[in-house]
Structure 1
Amino acid sequence: MRGSSRSDIVRLPHNEPNARPGGSIPAVHPHHDDRPAAELDLGDLVIRLARDLRRRGMVAFEPYDLAPHHVRALRTVAHEGTMRLGELAQHLRVAPRSVTDVVDALEDRGLLRRSPDPTDRRAQVVAVTDEGAALLDEVGAARRAAAETSFGRLSDRDRAILRRILERLDAAD
């Protein structure tokens, strides 16, 4: 691929339906679309809002020195309960070796605890520590406050309508 640097490549697992020989595709570098909302189609509008929410969430995570993937892993274990690393990888839809790095970082900070699986000593399970649960509460509050800058403009009625629409669309998948 001429003109592409390694930073312009996104690796796909070999079994992804859109994977090409060599397992990579050029990265997409989306630019902010600053057209007025009335000129955007619905999909573009949703994408723009999602990007804005993601950016605000990342800013909200900065004081905690957590990346979004760390927060997702911590939230998943907190919600699902103690689980094997392979199960966590499946929930996060990442390779098991990737989840090991995330768990290592969270364990080093005392947010997750790794221990032998009581039913299979060859496997390990992870659980959220009290410190991890407390931090997750703080991060959740910061994320909600960041999202409020977008959703705070909506009335309670509009929020309820938006929630119903989003839940219906989400359930269709």
Structure 2
Amino acid sequence: MVSPGLATDEAIRALLLLMPRLIGRVKRLGVPDALRGLDLAPRHLSLLSYLQLEGPLSIGELAERLEVAPTTVSLMIADLSRAGVLVRREDEADRRRRIVTIAPEHTDAVTAWLGGSAVAWREAVADLSDTEREVVVRTLRAYEQALGETGLQR
């Protein structure tokens, strides 16, 4: 049987109930002891998530994925490198490029901490078509933008 879908107001009510629960669950993810003393912002978590999911990446690749300037990524990497969480090395093929990876002593903790989120997203979107997944991502981006436009950000 095909679902008739949700009317706009029904969808909004469902999302207003769901979003705080999602945020609450994300906030309850226990930060590993080794990272607890760091002042980690959501952008740091995204950076660590990309490295955890995809492995070593260049600063340019991270900037593209995070949709920020390479200088912003460089500053985040510098912070996490000083704390020993990340390792930067020269790219053997192009010595001007820096490749970034999670430090071996932090890999297991970061994977245990953030890996579940990728697994949950993979499970949540597994039964969707590529077009439906694109709609979900586009909708969440539009919601983020609309929040910014309404002045609800801190």
Same fold (TM over 0.5): yes
Structure with larger RCO (C-alpha < 8 A, sep 6+): 2
Question: Residue 46 of structure 1 aligns with which residue?
Answer: 15
Note if 1:123 corresponds to 2:92: no
1:20-169 alignment runs, 5 A limit: 40-46=9-15, 48-61=17-30, 64-65=35-36, 66-140=40-114, 164=127, 169=132
DSSP 3-state at the match of 1:50: helix
How far the C-alpha of 1:130 sits from its partner, in A, is 1.7
Which string of whole-angstrom CA distances, capped at 9 and with x for unpartnered residues, describes residues 135-161 of structure 1? 2133137869xx9xxxxxxxxxxxx89
- 1:166 and 1:101 map into 2 onto residues whose CA distance is 37
Q: What amino acid sits opposite 1:94 in the alignment?
A: V
* 1:48 Cα offset (Å): 4.6
Q: Structure 1, unaligned stretches of length 5 or more?
A: 1-38, 148-159
Q: Once the two structures are superposed, what CA deviation does each residue of 1:35-87 show, in whole Å capped at 9, x if it has no partner?
A: xxxx9531453365234323432343556433332222112112222221010
The 2-side partners of 1:108 and 1:126 are apart by: 13
1:171 shift after superposition: 4.2
Structure 2: tracts of 5 or more residues without a match:
1-7, 139-154
The letter for the 1-side match of 2:86 is L
Task: Tell me, yes or no, if the aligned pair for 1:74 and 1:132 is still in contact at 8 Å.
Answer: no
Letter of the aligned partner of 2:25 in structure 1? R
RMSD between superposed Cα atoms in Å: 3.4
Give TM-score scaled by structure 1 length.
0.54
Q: After the TM superposition, which of the residue ranges 106-115 and 162-171 deviates more from structure 2?
A: 162-171
Kept in 2: contact 1:61–1:68 (CA 8 A): no
* 2:133 alignment counterpart: 170
Identical aligned residues as a percent: 26
Greater Cα radius of gyration, structure 1 or 2 = 1
Q: Which has the higher strand share?
A: 1
- With structure 2 as the length reference, what TM-score do the two structures score? 0.59
Q: Which has the higher helix share?
A: 2
